[in-house]
Amino acid sequence: MLSNDDVSVLTILLLIIFIALAGVGLALWIIRHRKKNNASLENHLPFVHNSTRKLSTEETLAINEYLELLEKQHKEVDQSSNTSIKSSLTPYSDNVYSFQSAIITLNSPDNTNVQRYYIDGIEVYLEAEWIEYLSDINQVDVVKTQTIPLVVELNGHKLTEFVLSKRPHQFVDSQPAQTESQENDDNVELIRLRKETTAEYNLKPKKKLYESLIISASYAIFFFSLVSSAELLPWFVILGGLLLGFGIWRMLRPDPKKTQYNIHCLRGVPKRWGLFGESDNGQLTNISVGTIDLIYPPHWQPYVGYDLDHKTNIDIYLNRYVVKQGKFLSLHNESVNFPLHHWGKNLVLALSSLLVVTLIISFIPLKLPLELTKAWLHGSSNINVTSPEQLKRAKIKVGDHLTVRGMGMCSIPTIYRSDIDYPFMPFDCTEMYWGVTNLPSLPPSEVIDNGIALLNTMNYQLNPMNNQAVKNNPELARTAERAGMTLVPDFSDIVLKTENLCKDPGDCRRLKNSLMILSNEKDWDDLVAKSQVHATKDTDVFLRPVAADTLRSQVNSIVSSFFYSQTHQAAQALYIKPKGGFYIRNDDDEKQMVDNSEIQELTHPTIPLDTLYDNTAIKQWFELQRLSNKLLDTQFSTSGIVLEVTPIENGTTKISLHSESNIISFWRYLGASLLFVIMLASLLYNLLLLIIRMRKNAHRISKIQDYYDRCFAKSLRLKVQQS
């Protein structure tokens, strides 16, 4: 399991990366969405920001008739002319743009007798008879066509009125009374206008990727909640839940803004000749009804020939895309009998689920969460024990809530971790041995005894008013006091105690040199030998205050170094793994198993320090003695969720407890396993749907063509039988 610091840094990095990637992805999606929506609408027109309205059905019919008239005139007058207007509108031609602007008139470079008209540098088509109505600033209404915009109203003159005025002479009236007298192969009859059906609408790409991205973001936020700090965890859970609910609601709700386009239901004779040579990209694009080029679905290619040169019902969009023709060809029937399966959202959800599963496996050990979840589902027990015998009989298992009280031994770590503050160093009371044998004890130290002896004799003899100096030579002591000097009454004792402490020839060199200078000796061994036979006992040694302070400082420094070394060695010597019993470990490195009253006593009220090694070197030794006597057999208590019950060496059973027995702990363990299972199920489910839907779509066209083959073959057999 990662440490808290590592998890915090990792969480922040992952959060920053996730927010950055999400922001970039959202920005790209918005740019692409706007570009896609505006590409057909704007077509780089500078006036599209002006007020707009929708075309009425009457205006749509009039514009179509007008465009047909232009094509016929173009065909009759000059086959080589380059008139740009085609007899068709686009799906976005129902927008009428109203504005005021000047209209510039220029001669065509190909034909000086042809006038071209421009608004803000964009060429538009203007009815030639309206030239006399032009002024400096004109109120115009413009619609888009497949090529250049068309002016449908100029300074109050409307195209609908113009078409109506020309209709008796140029256009075919669609009334039933006139249809029979004027009918010929080139006429197209508009039967009615209708909205596309839901089945036809479902053939368009579904806009559900936005919802699936929201759900994917909630998946990632739930993962971040598992590795975040306790302060951020509830906010991550709330945010993830809100996003998940919002995404599912958006995914399942019907589209409130479903745009169903108008469909023109025509009746005419489709012919394979086409009116526009530039659109001849294949036999499907080379079919026209009247003056309208038709665009067919590619998989209709083998069947459109059945209706050629016969009067046929044809349903088309404004962009001339055919949705129904004749008796059998119908996108509505295809959508009902062979539905198109949209798999984009399944791909996004499968990829996001795979990402979260990978993150969980990489950063969260799953064995423990899965075991705890399994234990909680089967039911856990609350166990309270006060003796090792009760704990043995309890037969605890992972997931149980255990409470322990008794007398035990605080653990002594073999290696101290730098990221943990041990209040009772070298003891770690977040880990406890209970009911064990072979308890360690603090060993005696001869070095400590020799160091204390040297320190005591030095402090005693360097006292200018010590009783021994006055008793041995009162007159000399008073003379030294008047001179401001210190008389050392038993210099040989200092030498001998230094030798007892510093037995190695390389130890205490500075102190030995100082003592040899004070005694006028050149060899340390000779000085020790003379001190052993009391040759220097009657020798009076006088020390100036500076020399006495220097000697005292040297002795304190040397004794402290020995005390530090012996304290560390004794602390390490305490580490002996006991036999039998239980080793109880708390996974919270800051929660001590010792009661608060015991902690106050252990920290010693007279010493305002918290750790052993904050004391001076000499006090450390005595604190270690006091702590070892107390913590090798102390009152303790702990409780938590059992995470592990395993036997270790020396016949000891290890029990790991988790102290966070609250909702945060519940989410970290139960949530990790649940999120892993849910993400795995989401991955498999969406991956399965993705494969199934892609497979069905791959065979969809062949099934549709098989259906049409049977329909047209049956129709042909019926015609043969009837004939």
- What are the tens digits of pLDDT across the range 514-525? 888 888 888 888
> Range with the lowest mean pLDDT among 55-59, 629-633, 659-663?
659-663
Q: What is the identity of the amino acid at 616? A: T
- Position 403 pLDDT exceeds 60: yes
- Mean pLDDT rounded to a whole number for the chain: 75
* 593 vs 720 pLDDT, higher one: 593
Q: Which of 43-57, 102-116, 132-146, 704-718 has the lowest mean pLDDT?
A: 43-57
Q: Which residue has the tokens 């009125």?
A: 161
Quick one: pLDDT band at residue 3, thresholds 50, 70, 90? very low
Does residue 490 contact residue 461 with C-beta atoms inside 8 Å? Answer: yes
Q: How far, in Å, CA of 494 to CA of 315, rounded?
A: 120
Confidence (pLDDT) at 642: 82
Contact call for residues 270 and 287 (beta carbons, < 8 A): yes
Residues 226-243: pLDDT tens digits? 887 777 878 888 888 888
Residue 306's pLDDT band (cuts 50, 70, 90): confident
The pLDDT value recorded for residue 182 is 38
pLDDT band at 39 (very low <50, low <70, confident <90, very high): very low
Residue 44: which H helix or E strand, with range?
none
Please, are residues 645 and 592 in contact by the beta-carbon 8 Å criterion? no
Res. 380: pLDDT tops 80: no
The residue type at 392: K
Q: How many angstroms separate the Cα of 194 from the Cα of each of 96, 317, 321, 661?
A: 20, 10, 15, 65
CA angle 108/164/162 to nearest 5° reads 30
- The answer to which of 38-52, 312-326, 668-682 has the lowest mean pLDDT is 38-52
The DSSP bridge pattern shows strands 189-195 and 104-107 to be unpaired
pLDDT tens-digit map of 658-696: 765 456 666 777 777 788 888 999 999 999 998 988 888
In this model, does residue 330 exceed pLDDT 80?
A: yes
Angle between helices 367-378 and 672-722 (to 10 degrees): 90
Own/partner contacts of 605-610, CB < 8 Å, gap of 24 or more, are: 610/423
How large a percentage of the chain has pLDDT more than 70? 70
Q: What is the mean pLDDT of residues 209-213?
A: 82
Distances (CA, A) of 102 to 85, 115, 206, 267, 719: 21, 16, 42, 41, 62
Structure-model confidence comparison of residues 245 and 378, the more confident one: 245
d(CA 329, CA 324): 6
Residue burial 241-267, b: 16+ Cβ < 10 Å; e: rest:
eebbeebeeeeeeeeeeeeebebbbbb
Whether the predicted pLDDT of 40 surpasses 50: no
**Order of strands across the sheet that contains 122-124:** 104-107, 115-119, 122-124
- Which of 363-372, 470-479, 594-603, 676-685 holds the top average pLDDT? 676-685
Tell whether the model's pLDDT for residue 418 goes beyond 50.
yes
Among the residue ranges 136-140, 266-270, 406-410, 466-470, the one predicted with the least confidence is: 466-470
pLDDT at 707: 84
pLDDT at 684: 92
The per-residue pLDDT for 417 is 65
Model confidence at 355: pLDDT above 80 = yes
pLDDT, tens only, 156-195: 888 888 887 776 544 334 344 333 433 444 577 778 788 8
The least confident of 8-17, 571-580, 661-670 is: 8-17
Q: What percent of the chain has pLDDT over 90?
A: 1
Q: How far is it between the farthest Cα atoms of the chain?
A: 160
In which band, very low, low, confident or very high, does the pLDDT at 427 lie, cut at 50, 70 and 90? confident
For residue 507, give the 3-state DSSP assignment: coil
Report d(CA 686, CA 689) in Å as an integer. 5
Per-residue pLDDT at 319 exceeds 50: yes
Q: C-alpha distances in angstroms, 696 versus 333, 345, 700?
A: 17, 16, 6
- Rounded to 10°, the helix 545-573/446-461 angle is 160
State the Cα–Cα distance between residues 613 and 710, nearest whole angstrom: 94
Going by C-alpha positions, the residue among 466, 483, 462, 485 that lies closest to residue 474 is 466
Alpha-carbon distances of 224 from 9, 236, 365, rounded to whole Å: 12, 7, 15
Radius of gyration of the chain (CA): 50
The confidence score (pLDDT) of residue 382 equals: 81
pLDDT of the residue at 178: 38
Q: Which residues of 619-635 are buried (b: 16+ CB within 10 A; e: fewer)?
A: bbbebbeebbebbbebe
